[in-house]
């Protein structure tokens, strides 16, 4: 079995960046808690027998959050061979608080002092040798972002593991140490000798998660020692240890040097005075996200997508494939499968890859420079007014890449009600799989209109806020939002390598999906739209798929797209959202989906008016996510809540799309007043009532009870 080195540190200390540098892994690096919700592992490059374990970023080992539970359980139960503790040198004292806990685990510890360049830029200086002497463990200065001395730090941890020399815990005051020594004698024999100090401290703190098979006499003896210290210091035991740790951290930081002029505003602080301003922050956020989607869908991304669609999948690949098939004298059904099924379906999806890569590039830049963390801070101000927490927005930010990790990131939310609501609403934010749908509707049906892409993003945000307001007024979700405290990392220029790698990771994942799930889906779609139930090749309107689609089509007719092809495309999106575009590519019979191609508009306008097209877009944005995301919801919430989540998402998508089409068609003259309009009015009235109704008395009592608890 290989040697295991655990990476432990505070959020935003550069731990995951170091993990990527050591292992070459392609794990996402972000600036918010919850990026590493579960422990991740990889082999140290050049040392296949050394496993590097990336643990969630935590501020302490007191298990108040799920991240802290994961980290603590691994360190105490599974016991790595050594701990590589990454410390943000620009916040030395705060980071050393966790270090004092790690040194009590009876394991070898090595300190990796990161971000020393920030300390020097702030006019500070830290003597790593002095810190090493004070702690009694090796201290290595590194730059995780630049990859400097990262391997040296890992190899130092390997040497420490081989020596099996456990770190010596820091000492507290005499009365505390006396009590811990006596408690240690009581736990001796009930745990590993190396864990004696750890359990003594935890029992002193009355840690609810610490359990040992102690007799009642031993428990009474321990309680007596704790009570003696509490009476002497006139404080509770947990606070006594916490204060003692902070004192130790302050002394260690003082011994090591100074961090810089804390009173002086940094460049990052000055930027935050503008971008997190109460009045300017949200408009700036709206402007930035508008620019991101404008660049991705309407300008830079469109230029490259046009070439891919018109040239690569228009003039190069289809004729070449057709020529190969003709030379091989393949049967007609195989020609149809390859050209009308695979090339048309997969090609229609891959045609939007350039736009997706531009979006990934922009989002990677915003995440790595530190701005995305500010968005969560800004949204907390807005969310809190409606009974939500900014902590709920973090999974939604992560979900812009893929809904699955966004759903998993909800584990960082302690409040069960808020966590459930976050899981239910996270997938309203457009993920990368929905971008081809947005780009197709914007290009083919709105002539590349600049507003379609940004509006899709803010429809998702509005759905989250409105859902939160409505759901918070029900018994299932009532209660005050969880407190949201978050460190805002200093702004910095992201490394070009990191941003490009982040973009490439997502692009490769999308290509793999196109080559597997979407490939199989469009192949199935082609088969169903080519053959009838007697497995005879027939016209599309007489096929198996048409028979199924004609049953489903009336359900969606009030939404403006009652054509069976549109209904089938929407249903296929449950497998993977990209399938919506792939299915349309097969069913409408074009081998490429050019954004502004006249032939495309001429074909699709038979099914979609502009209002119906936007209704179709919104339905696919808000409806239940792909099977992978639904599976993630089930793992997080269980079967019952998965049904509730999927039901709510489908119902909301249907009602919003119905209102968009019915009111839009009425205003544009595309439809007259009818039953659908009446239904839309009723839905709107009920929605406004639920949105603005006062807090019901029963729920208000529950909320007050939750606050008292």
Q: For 609-641, write each residue's pLDDT tens digit.
A: 899 999 999 999 999 988 888 988 988 888 899
C-alpha distances out from residue 352 to 357, 359, 385, 618, Å:
9, 11, 38, 19
Please, are residues 574 and 589 in contact by the beta-carbon 8 Å criterion? no
Q: What is the mean pLDDT of residues 685-693?
A: 91
Q: What is the mean pLDDT of residues 598-619?
A: 78
Predicted confidence band of residue 598 (pLDDT cuts 50, 70, 90)? very low
48 annotated binding-site participant:
no
Q: What is the mean pLDDT of residues 364-375?
A: 83
pLDDT of residue 65: 67
117 annotated binding-site participant:
yes
C-alpha to C-alpha distance for 616 and 559, rounded to whole angstroms: 8
Between these two residues, 205 and 390, which has the higher pLDDT value?
205
Spacing of C-alpha 319 from chain mean position: 41
Q: Where are the alpha helices (DSSP H) in 482-593?
A: 496-515, 517-530, 544-556, 564-572, 578-587
Token look-up 């592992």 returns: 41
**Domains in the chain, CATH or no CATH each:** 3-163 (3.40.50.300), 174-258 (1.10.287.1770), 282-698 (no CATH)
- Res. 300: pLDDT tops 90: no
390 annotated binding-site participant:
no
Q: Report the helix count and the strand count for the chain, using DSSP H and E.
A: 34, 8
Predicted confidence band of residue 594 (pLDDT cuts 50, 70, 90)? very low
418 annotated binding-site participant:
no
Predicted confidence band of residue 432 (pLDDT cuts 50, 70, 90)? confident
11 annotated binding-site participant:
yes
16 annotated binding-site participant:
yes
114 annotated binding-site participant:
yes
108 annotated binding-site participant:
no
Indicate whether this model's pTM tops 0.75.
Answer: no
Q: For 456-481, write each residue's pLDDT tens digit.
A: 989 998 998 899 888 888 888 877 77
34 annotated binding-site participant:
yes
Predicted confidence band of residue 650 (pLDDT cuts 50, 70, 90)? very high
Predicted confidence band of residue 689 (pLDDT cuts 50, 70, 90)? very high
pLDDT of residue 2: 79
What is the residue-averaged pLDDT of the chain?
82
Between these two residues, 370 and 592, which has the higher pLDDT value?
370
- Res. 128: pLDDT tops 80: yes
For the chain, the residue count is: 709
The β-bridge partners of 82 are 5
3-state secondary structure of 353: helix
pLDDT of residue 622: 94
Token readout for 546 is 């048409």
C-alpha to C-alpha distance for 300 and 355, rounded to whole angstroms: 8
Predicted confidence band of residue 258 (pLDDT cuts 50, 70, 90)? low
- Res. 686: pLDDT tops 90: yes
C-alpha to C-alpha distance for 484 and 373, rounded to whole angstroms: 12
115 annotated binding-site participant:
yes
DSSP 430: -
13 annotated binding-site participant:
yes
Predicted confidence band of residue 35 (pLDDT cuts 50, 70, 90)? very low
31 annotated binding-site participant:
no
116 annotated binding-site participant:
yes
Q: Which residues contact 414 (CB under 8 A, 6 or more apart)?
A: 64, 65, 66, 482
Q: What is the mean pLDDT of residues 323-348?
A: 77
Predicted confidence band of residue 28 (pLDDT cuts 50, 70, 90)? very low
pLDDT of residue 261: 52
Predicted confidence band of residue 32 (pLDDT cuts 50, 70, 90)? very low
Please, are residues 167 and 136 in contact by the beta-carbon 8 Å criterion? yes
Q: What is the mean pLDDT of residues 591-615?
A: 65
> Which stretch of DSSP H or E encloses residue 305?
helix 300-307
Please, are residues 521 and 572 in contact by the beta-carbon 8 Å criterion? yes
C-alpha to C-alpha distance for 420 and 474, rounded to whole angstroms: 13
516 annotated binding-site participant:
no
Q: Where are the alpha helices (DSSP H) in 308-352?
A: 317-327, 332-335, 344-350
10 annotated binding-site participant:
yes
Predicted confidence band of residue 248 (pLDDT cuts 50, 70, 90)? very high
Predicted confidence band of residue 25 (pLDDT cuts 50, 70, 90)? low
- Res. 532: pLDDT tops 60: yes
Between these two residues, 397 and 605, which has the higher pLDDT value?
397
C-alpha distances out from residue 329 to 203, 303, 332, 344, 537, Å:
79, 37, 9, 21, 19
C-alpha to C-alpha distance for 401 and 364, rounded to whole angstroms: 10
C-alpha to C-alpha distance for 338 and 463, rounded to whole angstroms: 40
């Amino acid at each position: 079995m290989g040697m295991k080195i655990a990476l432990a540190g505070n959020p935003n200390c550069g731990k995951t960046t170091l993990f990527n540098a050591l292992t070459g892994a392609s794990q996402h690096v972000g600036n918010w808690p919850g990026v590493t919700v579960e422990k991740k592992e990889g082999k140290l490059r050049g040392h296949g027998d050394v496993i590097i374990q990336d643990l969630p970023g935590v501020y302490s080992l007191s298990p108040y959050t799920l991240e802290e539970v994961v980290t603590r359980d691994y360190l105490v139960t599974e016991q790595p061979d050594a701990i590589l503790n990454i410390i943000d040198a620009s916040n030395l004292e705060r980071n050393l608080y966790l270090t004092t806990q790690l040194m009590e685990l009876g394991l070898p510890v090595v300190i990796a002092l990161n971000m020393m360049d920030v300390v020097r830029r702030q006019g500070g200086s830290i003597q790593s040798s002095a810190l090493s002497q004070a702690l009694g463990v090796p201290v290595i200065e590194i730059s995780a972002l630049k990859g400097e001395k990262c391997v040296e730090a890992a190899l130092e941890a390997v040497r420490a593991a081989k020596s099996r020399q456990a770190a010596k815990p820091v000492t507290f005051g005499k009365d505390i140490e006396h009590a811990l020594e006596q408690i240690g004698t009581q736990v001796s024999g009930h745990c590993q000798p190396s864990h004696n100090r750890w359990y003594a401290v935890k029992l002193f703190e009355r840690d609810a998660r610490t359990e040992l098979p102690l007799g009642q006499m031993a428990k009474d003896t321990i309680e007596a020692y704790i009570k003696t210290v509490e009476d002497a210091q006139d404080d509770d035991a947990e606070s006594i240890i916490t204060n003692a740790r902070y004192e130790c951290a302050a002394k260690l930081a003082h011994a090591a040097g100074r961090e810089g002029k804390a009173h002086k505003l940094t460049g990052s602080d000055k930027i935050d005075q503008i971008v997190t301003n109460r009045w300017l922050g949200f408009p700036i956020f709206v402007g930035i996200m508008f620019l991101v989607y404008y660049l991705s869908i309407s300008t830079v991304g469109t230029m490259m997508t046009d070439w891919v669609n018109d040239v690569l999948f228009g003039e190069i690949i289809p004729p070449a494939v057709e020529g190969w098939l003709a030379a091989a004298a393949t049967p007609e059904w195989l020609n149809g499968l390859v050209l009308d099924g695979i090339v048309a379906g997969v090609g229609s999806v891959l045609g939007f890859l350039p736009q997706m890569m531009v979006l990934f590039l922009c989002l990677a830049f915003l995440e790595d420079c530190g701005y995305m963390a500010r968005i969560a801070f800004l949204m907390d101000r807005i969310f809190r007014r409606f009974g939500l927490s900014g902590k709920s927005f973090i999974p939604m930010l992560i979900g812009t890449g893929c809904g699955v990790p966004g759903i998993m990131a909800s584990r960082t939310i302690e409040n069960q009600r808020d966590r459930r609501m976050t899981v239910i609403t996270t997938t309203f934010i457009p993920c990368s799989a929905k971008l081809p749908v947005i780009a197709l509707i914007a290009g083919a049906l709105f002539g590349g209109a600049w507003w379609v892409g940004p509006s899709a993003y803010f429809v998702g945000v509005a759905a989250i806020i409105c859902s939160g307001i409505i759901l918070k007024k029900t018994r299932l979700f009532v209660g005050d939002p969880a407190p949201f405290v978050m460190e805002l990392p200093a702004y910095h220029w992201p490394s070009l390598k990191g941003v490009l790698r982040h973009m490439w990771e997502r692009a490769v994942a999308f290509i793999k999906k196109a080559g597997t799930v979407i490939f199989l889906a469009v192949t199935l779609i082609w088969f169903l739209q080519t053959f009838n139930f007697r497995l005879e090749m027939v016209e599309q309107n007489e096929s198996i798929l048409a028979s199924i689609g004609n049953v489903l089509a009336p359900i969606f007719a009030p939404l403006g797209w009652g054509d069976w092809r549109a209904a089938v495309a929407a249903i296929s999106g449950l497998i993977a959202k990209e399938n919506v575009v792939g299915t349309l590519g097969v069913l409408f019979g074009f081998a490429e989906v050019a954004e502004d191609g006249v032939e495309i508009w001429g074909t699709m306008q038979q099914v979609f008016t502009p209002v119906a097209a936007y209704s179709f877009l919104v339905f696919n944005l808000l409806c239940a996510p792909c099977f992978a995301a639904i599976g993630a919801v089930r793992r997080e919430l269980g079967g019952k809540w998965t049904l509730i989540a999927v039901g709510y998402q489908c119902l909301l998508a249907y009602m919003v799309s119905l209102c968009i089409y019915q009111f839009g068609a009425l205003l544009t003259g595309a439809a007259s007043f009818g039953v659908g309009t009446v239904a839309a009015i009723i839905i709107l009235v009920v929605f406004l009532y639920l949105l603005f109704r006062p807090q019901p008395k029963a729920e208000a009592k529950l909320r007050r009870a939750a606050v008292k608890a």
